[in-house]
């Protein structure tokens, strides 16, 4: 369009000037990969054939209405005038290969929508994406994607034309190497095999880094440690107060924070009943003060228990836990018959698999005026107050970090 406007004034000027003007553009455009020509193409105003109306300048047959004047062969529409091969619409003019709409301009290979622009291979969400590997969201879109493209080291000029890293590329939200997570313990439902069954009312042992314990106030029951983490199977039949557990055994020389961050992951199936009360989760003891503690994630039944006096509640591991305390007088303990405190964290939405952030429970108890002493143990537990049933852990492990 610019060339047509230039030519409309050219017909009157041709009689006074024998050649066209100089270039109107620079060698490279704003935002594009450096191009060889600017808007208006390579030729000057009026084209290389320059003159007014060809060989005849004024008067005669080529002046007013002559054959080479208005509409003549070398005048408007001529080979090197407006519309010529190197003028507007030509190979390097407006819309040409390197101009507006060309290969490296708006809409070109490296501009809006181009290979490295919006949705391109190295744009937002692409191979080197913002929102790719670290999961900021491949469809980064808008200002965030645009700014990310501009800040990228290889992104000055053509490759990062404004709007380039727009609405996300191939590697969308949470790319291939987003924040790493542990395997989903809840998906581990295949029963384990092997192990040696031990049946007793009071027995213990060690396998690899973990210790197992079975204890009963009655006729006892059975435990089968599988030798895979803390996983075990336990059975009972009207055994009185029956506890089966496996995990960390310590020696009462360190506080919980000296062991680092303690966590447990578990999944299990259960059958039968747990008598008048039951607890499934984490169990242990500390000394000085002497405390028996529970983190209860599930029970044999449908309602979470409420043992002792309610002290408070908190949110953790995707659920709400209520905190209770109770006092046991002249009861069995790790140091014989004694009077001691019990601490309970009871999950209000019961579950059969997941992660328990053990250390975080200890911290919450401390904030409620419920301190622990030197640690004796922390183990994955199944406890039943009677009944006849079984529990089978398909996955169970504990870690300290």
Catalytic residues: 292, 383
Q: Residues with Cβ < 8 Å from 212, sequence gap 6 or more?
A: 204, 205, 206, 223, 225, 232, 244, 245, 246
Conformational region of residue 271, where left means phi above 0, alpha means psi within -120 to 50, and beta covers everything else:
beta
Number of residues that make up the chain: 401
Strand pairing of 198-200 and 221-225?
A: antiparallel
Handedness of CA 284, 287, 292, 295 (dihedral sign): negative
Q: Is the dihedral of CA 111, 113, 114, 115 positive or negative?
A: positive
Query: How many Cβ atoms from other residues are within 10 Å of residue 93's Cβ?
Result: 27
> Which of 168, 167, 165, 159 has its CA nearest to residue 132?
168
Per the CB < 8 A criterion, the answer to whether 358 and 283 are in contact is no
Contact 280, 255 (CB under 8 A): no
Per the DSSP assignment, residues forming a β-bridge with 354 are 266
Cβ contacts of 220 within 8 Å, gap of 6 or more: 199, 200, 201, 202, 214, 239, 242
Cβ-proximal residues to 318 (8 Å cutoff; 6+ apart), any chain = 354
**What is the rounded distance in angstroms from the CA atom of residue 356 to the CA atom of residue 263?**
6
DSSP state string for 297-316: EE-SSSS----SEEEEEEEE
Identify the three-state secondary structure at position 198.
Answer: strand
Q: Which is it for strands 210-216 and 202-207: parallel, antiparallel or unpaired?
A: antiparallel
């Amino acid at each position: 369009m610019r060339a047509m406007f230039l030519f409309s004034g050219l017909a009157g000027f041709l009689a006074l000037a024998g050649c066209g003007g100089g270039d109107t553009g620079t060698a490279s455009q704003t935002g594009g990969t450096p191009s060889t020509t600017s808007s208006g193409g390579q030729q000057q105003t009026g084209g290389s054939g320059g003159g007014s109306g060809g060989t005849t300048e004024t008067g005669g047959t080529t002046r007013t209405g002559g054959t080479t004047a208005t509409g003549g062969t070398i005048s408007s529409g001529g080979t090197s005038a407006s519309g010529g091969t190197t003028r507007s619409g030509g190979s390097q003019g407006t819309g040409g290969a390197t101009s507006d709409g060309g290969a490296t301009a708006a809409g070109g290979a490296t501009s809006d929508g181009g290979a490295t622009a919006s949705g391109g291979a190295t744009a937002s969400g692409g191979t080197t994406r913002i929102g790719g590997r670290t999961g900021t969201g491949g469809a980064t879109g808008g200002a965030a994607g645009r700014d990310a493209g501009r800040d990228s080291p290889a992104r000055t000029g053509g490759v990062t034309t404004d709007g380039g890293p727009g609405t996300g590329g191939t590697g969308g939200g949470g790319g291939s190497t987003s924040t790493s997570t542990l395997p989903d313990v809840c998906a581990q439902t295949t029963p384990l095999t092997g192990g040696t069954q031990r049946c007793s009312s009071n027995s213990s042992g060690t396998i690899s880094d973990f210790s197992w314990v079975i204890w009963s106030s009655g006729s006892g029951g059975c435990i089968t440690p599988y030798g895979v983490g803390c996983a075990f199977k336990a059975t009972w039949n009207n055994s009185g107060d029956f506890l089966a557990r496996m995990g960390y055994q310590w020696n009462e020389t360190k506080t919980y924070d000296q062991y680092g961050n303690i966590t447990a992951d578990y999944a299990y199936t259960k059958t039968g009943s747990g008598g008048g009360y039951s607890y499934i989760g984490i169990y242990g003891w500390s000394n000085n003060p002497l405390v028996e503690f529970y983190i209860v994630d599930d029970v044999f039944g449908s309602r979470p228990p409420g043992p002792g006096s309610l002290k408070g509640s908190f949110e953790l591991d995707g659920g709400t836990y209520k905190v209770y305390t109770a006092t046991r007088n002249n009861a069995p303990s790790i140091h014989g018959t004694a009077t001691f405190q019990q601490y309970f964290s009871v999950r209000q939405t019961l579950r059969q698999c997941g992660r328990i952030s053990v250390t975080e429970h200890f911290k919450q108890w401390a904030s409620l005026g419920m301190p622990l002493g030197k640690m004796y143990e922390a183990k994955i537990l199944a406890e039943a107050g009677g009944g006849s049933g079984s529990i089978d852990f398909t996955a169970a492990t504990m870690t300290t970090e």
